Amino acid sequence: MQITIHPFQEVDLEETDQVVMAAYNITHSREESLVRYLNLQPGGSFVAKHNNIIVGFGGALNYGPFAYVGLMSVHPAMQRQGIGHLILQQLLVWLDEQRCPTALLDATPLGAPIYRYFQFVEDDQTVVMHLARQFSQPLQLTDNVAPLRAEEWPALVAFDAPHFGAERGAVLASYRDDGPERVLVAHDDNGQITGYLIAQSRSLGPWIATNAASAEGLLQYALTLSFDVAPGVFLSANNTEALRLLAHYGFQPQRGLSHMRRGKPLDRARHRAIYGQTSLGLG
C-alpha cells in the first residue's frame, strides 16, 4: 500500500473534514478548526493520501519557543497501517526545519505509543471537563468582568504571552473575530487586566487568570451566555484551583489525556494561571 504525504490545502477541506469526523467518531464538522490551520500557519499541516484519496490529517502550530501538534486523524478503515507515523514524521521534519525546540501535544491512550516512538515523554496530564449540571444558585456577576473593549486588545495580547509562554496574538484574534462580545476580560480596581476568557460555542478557552477571584468572575459571566452544546474545558489535571472551581459550577471530568513533550522542558503556567486551553490542538 502506497501512502503519500502532501501539504494541506483549501481544496482538501471538505474531504479532510470527513476523515477527521470519522476518526474521532463525531457528528459535528471540524472545518472551522481546519480553516484555522490554513489561515494561521500555511504549510504547517499535512494530509495523507491513498490512491489520491485523503485518509489522514495532522497539523502543527509553531509559536516560536514551542509548537502544538493536534488533530491527528486517520480514517478508521485505514488505521494501524503506519499512516499516523508518516504524518507525524512529516510534521516533526517541518518543525525541525523551523528550528522549533519543543513540540507539545495531548495524547489519547491509543495515540500515546506513536508519540513515544518519536521520543515524546509525558510531563503532565490534561483533563477534559464538561458542564454536567447547571449551577444551583444565582450567578453573582461582578463589575470587574466585562466584554472586551476594542482599545484594550493590545493589552490583552501582552497579558496572555508570559502566562501561555509565547506570543499568540494571531490565534487569539481568530477567536475574537468569531464573536468579540464573547471575549470576557477581568480587571483589578486600577483597571489592569487580571484575566480573560473566550467563550467559544462549544468550549471555554483560552482562559487565563492571575487569581481565583478573577477566574471565578469570568466563569460566572461565561455561564450566562448561550452555547451550541454543554461547554467543555481542557486543562492541566494539576491545576487544583481550576478543578475545584469547575466542579463547584457543575463541570465533571469526562476523560484524561497525556500531555506530552518532545524537546526542551518548558516553564509555563499550566498549573497556575491557565484555567482552560484554546483547544486540544492549539494549546
Concatenated DSSP letters of the chain: --EEEEE--GGGHHHHHHHHHHHHT-SS--HHHHHHHHHHSTTSEEEEEETTEEEEEEEEEE-SS-EEEEEEEE-GGG-SSSHHHHHHHHHHHHHHHTT--EEEEEE-TTTHHHHHHTT-EEEEEEEEEEE-S--SS-----TTEEEPPGGGHHHHHHHHHHHHTS--HHHHHHHHTT-GGGEEEEE-TTS-EEEEEEE-SSBEEEEEESSHHHHHHHHHHHTTS--SSS-EEEEETT-HHHHHHHHHTTEEEEEEEEEEEEES-----TTTTEEE-S-TTT-
Phi/psi-derived region of residue 226, left when phi > 0, alpha when psi is between -120 and 50, beta in every other case? beta
Question: So what's the pLDDT on residue 136?
Answer: 61
* Residue 62, amino acid: N
Residue indicated by cell numbers 468550549: 203
Question: How confident is the chain (283 residues) per 10-residue block, as mean pLDDT?
Answer: 93 97 94 96 95 96 97 94 95 96 96 95 97 76 92 98 97 97 97 98 97 96 95 97 96 97 90 96 95
Could you tell me which CATH number the domain at 129-276 has?
3.40.630.90
Question: So what's the pLDDT on residue 137?
Answer: 67
CA distance 17 to 21: 6
Question: So what's the pLDDT on residue 142?
Answer: 80
Any idea which architecture 3-100 has in CATH? 3-Layer(aba) Sandwich (3.40)
Question: So what's the pLDDT on residue 229?
Answer: 94
Question: So what's the pLDDT on residue 46?
Answer: 98
Question: So what's the pLDDT on residue 140?
Answer: 72
Q: Let me know if the fold of 3-100 is the same as that of 129-276.
A: yes
CA distance 139 to 142: 9
> How many CB atoms are closer than 10 A to CB 117?
11
Q: What is the reported pTM?
A: 0.94
Q: Name the residue ranges covered by the structural domains of the chain.
A: 3-100, 129-276
CA distance 147 to 139: 17
